Structure 1
């Protein structure tokens, strides 16, 4: 049985859909009080409706804005208490050939996928260290472990998330806090739906053919499910994972290997 600290409180960013929503639901089912953050309050409230009595705070935050993060974390902790578990899931994907990747796309990918992790973690991690307990789980991607064509800015950002994870794991190892990353392959989420739509628009293939092309990357020949990623996060957030630190766990059916 997965064990958590008594009255554990988790914050999940990007919790309105996909991996974030699945993770919030999994944590709540395990008895953890869960607060939700993201840009759109209406989708966060939809996730909150699935959490039963384990809802903490529900706060709309632009996790790329330092002032908004500081204010939002203060609101969450005032309403629901100190944060013991942080799941940095918020992010977005954008694609373009490298020679057509402009400064705006580059900046957006780094802000949404890397700077957001830095900002939220910096707002939460010192409190964890002071209390002597905490879990930080960053949702990266197989793009943080290998390279993919036509998504150079996204790949660079996700590599940054993995690097930040490893650095913080060492820095906080003696303070009762672990920092790990999960690296999903193509997962059946709205982001993959957008990727499939882009393939349809650019190649004329059907949606089914586009989704099959994405699934083909996985040796299991299928998309990962959000619930599979959530289960990995649940374990890393538990007391039983106390010696797991600085790891980037691939959830991709054998697409990439870590060691």
Structure 2
């Protein structure tokens, strides 16, 4: 894909920033979407040439559609979407609650559903588009305390597969990346005794995202691609 307009959800987080930097370096125009109430000042300066949309509740279809409309008004088109917005909660079924399952499905799956639906009209009208969802390697088999998270990320993979089938003859590709533990400051704080060198870095994931958005990946759709470092 030549210079394009790419929307990134969860853009202010560790992975979102890495993806944004990688794509900006490639010359793409970006729409940076995030639930944070304000853009961190350093990011606001770094990405001043791009569209910045904080305080977004992507679990709400109307708000999501308004964000995509703002990007279309700014750039005239939307060529790609990278769904990074999400969260994690460790909780056993015995000690937990159904509310945790609802929360994980809302932040990890419903946000992706809403953004995919919001960008589809533009992509279908222009006969081209790239969608990359961030799933999780852990979705293949849930460990103890991972049920809600793994189930929601499994839903992201099923969303990816279904949408890929719906759009495969219409110029759109839809793929998912399945990371292991990502080397972020938050994960280092939560697991201080781990061997961080084995984790996959945000920058390595950003390169895979960039490839899936490119013309070189035009023949790939409906895939779930493990990117696991050495975990």
TM range (shorter): over 0.9
Mapped pair 1:19 → 2:5 = no
- Superposed structure 1 runs of 4+ greater than 4 Å apart: none
* Distance in 2 of aligned mates of 1:64 and 1:52: 26
Compare CA radii of gyration and give the structure with the larger one: 1
Q: 1:48 to 1:249 in 2, by over 3 A?
A: farther
* Distance in 2 of aligned mates of 1:114 and 1:47: 26
Q: 1:68 to 1:46 in 2, by over 3 A?
A: farther
Mapped pair 1:59 → 2:29 = no
- Secondary structure at 2:226 match in 1: strand
* Distance in 1 of aligned mates of 2:42 and 2:172: 31
- Secondary structure at 1:19 match in 2: helix
How far off its partner does 1:231 sit?
0.3
Q: 1:237 to 1:254 in 2, by over 3 A?
A: same
Mapped pair 1:238 → 2:214 = yes
- Structure 1: gaps (5+ residues): 197-206, 216-220
Mapped pair 1:86 → 2:74 = no
* Distance in 2 of aligned mates of 1:142 and 1:46: 32
Mapped pair 1:250 → 2:226 = yes
- Contact 1:141/1:184 (8 A) holds in 2: yes
* Distance in 2 of aligned mates of 1:117 and 1:243: 22
- Contact 1:17/1:47 (8 A) holds in 2: no
How far off its partner does 1:238 sit?
0.3
Structure-1-length-normalised TM-score = 0.83
Deviations 1:5-29 (A, max 9, x none): 3x41000000102111100110110
How far off its partner does 1:40 sit?
1.5
Mean Cα deviation higher: 171-180 or 36-45: 36-45
RMSD, matched Cα: 1.8
Deviations 1:65-111 (A, max 9, x none): 22221222222221233210100000000111111221211111000
- Structure 2: gaps (5+ residues): none
- Secondary structure at 1:40 match in 2: coil
Q: 1:45 to 1:183 in 2, by over 3 A?
A: farther
